[in-house]
Copies of this chain bind each other. A is one copy, B any other.
Amino acid sequence: MDEIRTGAGAGHPSRAGVVAVGREVRPVAYPRDEVRAADFRVVEVAVPRPGPGEVLVRNTWTSVDAALRLRLRERAPEGYFPAFPLDQPMDGIMTVGEVVESRADGFAPGDTVSHASGWRDYAVVGAGSQALGGVGALTRLDVRDTPPQAHLGVLGATGLTAYAGLFHVAELRDGDVVWVSAAAGAVGGLVAQLAKLHGHRVIGSAGSAEKVRHLREELGLDAAFNYKDGPLPDLLREAAPDGIDVYFDNVGGDHLEAALGALRTSGRVAICGMISEYAARGPSRGPGNLMLAVTKNLTIRGFRGSAHTHLLPEVRRRLGAWVREGRLPYRETVVDGLEQAPAALAALFRGDNTGKTLVRIDGVAHRENLGG
């Protein structure tokens, strides 16, 4: 989409084929260490009409995920989605919105849809896209019983990642004791709840007393601790004196090392993310006790939710039922205004979030028909 220069003297283009003006959040510099709002800028662009097979979507909610940090670098890690180009819209962020105009079969104005063209007011999306391994494909959503933004969290990529990670990657088995790190986060919270729903003893860790309270009281975990409260192996031993069988890793680093120490024979690790290492510019320090994987017959599996897209219908069905039955309460940290998305990402890395972090876009204020 063409950028519209703003400021003194700049006007909005008015031409055929352009239907509106919308904002986009673009990275303008790769964060050196911490993510800062100043690494991004908001630009206004002319929104074109959809072409054949495309729909125009007015976005309403978009997602803020720790993993975006992996693409806010000169080079994303090998095998991952590519880095976000500077000063371009960020393609590959899960978003929901309403169809404004459709030239694609099966989509009509007013439909609520999800797609992967986030952090912008409007998106023109092709109906056949398999963005983000298919999770980001343009999808019509059933929002009769659940709010649209749930499809970015528990019923969307977050739910898929939690579900696939716990049941398919960690291969949860009867009687397993489960430790989840970053358990107050979007994926971690869901993993902990799913393991509880399946009757497991679940230990959660997080980075503040308030989050620990949330884990104990709202999520009903069997034990929870603040990882800043002491040496991690000691905290873990206190919470799980007889060891653990599954570690769901969102943190990496010292957390993974502590888990390897606490895992029992035939234990399993599902590595979903390593937030402690996302800002690293060089190689990180790997776990110094990996030999325990040999002596204890451990399995360590990294995974991406997008490798398990085939499970998405099952996730929507099973988790959707639990949500409707009130058995899977979920937390959201909601930030208002598209322009706040970078600040929300920065806050997430400071730990100022519980549950799924979402941006309520409020595109309406910027909606403007330019003719055509």
Determine the distance from Cα of A77 to Cα of B70 in the docked complex, in whole angstroms. 35
Known: A296-B302, A298-B301, A303-B294. A287 touches B288 (CB 8 A): no
Q: Give chain B residues whose Cβ lies under 8 Å from the Cβ of A299.
A: 299-302
- In the complex, are the beta carbons of A290 and B79 less than 8 A apart? no
A267, closest chain B residue (CB): B79
Determine the distance from Cα of A292 to Cα of B77 in the docked complex, in whole angstroms. 7
Q: Which of A248-264 contact B (CB under 8 A)?
A: 252, 256-257, 261
Determine the distance from Cα of A293 to Cα of B300 in the docked complex, in whole angstroms. 9
Interface size class of chain A, counting residues whose CB lies under 8 Å from the partner chain: 35 or more
Q: A302 contacts which of B272, B273, B294 (Cβ < 8 Å)? A: B294
Known: A287-B286, A299-B300, A300-B301. A261 touches B78 (CB 8 A): yes
A175 contacts the other chain (CB 8 A):
no
Determine the distance from Cα of A128 to Cα of B256 in the docked complex, in whole angstroms. 40
A274 contacts the other chain (CB 8 A):
yes
Determine the distance from Cα of A72 to Cα of B304 in the docked complex, in whole angstroms. 40
Known: A265-B79, A287-B286. A304 touches B300 (CB 8 A): no
Q: Which of A57-83 contact B (CB under 8 A)?
A: 70, 76-80
A283, closest chain B residue (CB): B288
Q: Give chain B residues whose Cβ lies under 8 Å from the Cβ of A293.
A: 271, 300-302
Q: A285 contacts which of B277, B282, B288 (Cβ < 8 Å)? A: B288
- In the complex, are the beta carbons of A252 and B290 less than 8 A apart? yes
- In the complex, are the beta carbons of B296 and A291 less than 8 A apart? no
Q: Give chain B residues whose Cβ lies under 8 Å from the Cβ of A80.
A: 295
Contact with B along A265-285 (1 / 0, CB 8 A): 110000111100100001111
CB distance from A273 to the nearest CB of B (A): 6
Determine the distance from Cα of A293 to Cα of B273 in the docked complex, in whole angstroms. 10
Q: A291 contacts which of B252, B297, B298 (Cβ < 8 Å)? A: B252
- In the complex, are the beta carbons of B79 and A295 less than 8 A apart? yes
A307 contacts the other chain (CB 8 A):
yes
- In the complex, are the beta carbons of A286 and B290 less than 8 A apart? yes
A88 contacts the other chain (CB 8 A):
no
Determine the distance from Cα of A287 to Cα of B277 in the docked complex, in whole angstroms. 13
- In the complex, are the beta carbons of B288 and A284 less than 8 A apart? yes
CB distance from A296 to the nearest CB of B (A): 4
Determine the distance from Cα of A80 to Cα of B265 in the docked complex, in whole angstroms. 10
A76, A80, A256, A273: most-surrounded residue (chain B CB, <10 A)? A80
- In the complex, are the beta carbons of B283 and A286 less than 8 A apart? no
A6 contacts the other chain (CB 8 A):
no
- In the complex, are the beta carbons of A307 and B297 less than 8 A apart? yes
Contact with B along A11-47 (1 / 0, CB 8 A): 0000000000000000000000000000000000000
Q: Give chain B residues whose Cβ lies under 8 Å from the Cβ of A252.
A: 290-291
Determine the distance from Cα of A294 to Cα of B290 in the docked complex, in whole angstroms. 17
Contact with B along A298-332 (1 / 0, CB 8 A): 11111110010000000000000000000000000
- In the complex, are the beta carbons of B288 and A79 less than 8 A apart? no
Task: List 9 additional A-B contacts (Cβ < 8 Å) besides A274-B294, A283-B289.
Answer: A77-B292, A78-B295, A284-B291, A286-B289, A286-B290, A294-B302, A294-B303, A299-B299, A300-B300
- Would you list 28 pairs from A and B whose C-beta atoms are within 8 A, ordered by A residue? A77-B292, A77-B294, A77-B295, A79-B265, A80-B295, A252-B290, A256-B290, A257-B286, A271-B294, A272-B294, A274-B290, A274-B291, A274-B294, A283-B289, A285-B288, A286-B287, A290-B302, A291-B302, A292-B302, A294-B304, A297-B301, A297-B302, A297-B303, A297-B307, A298-B301, A299-B302, A300-B300, A300-B301
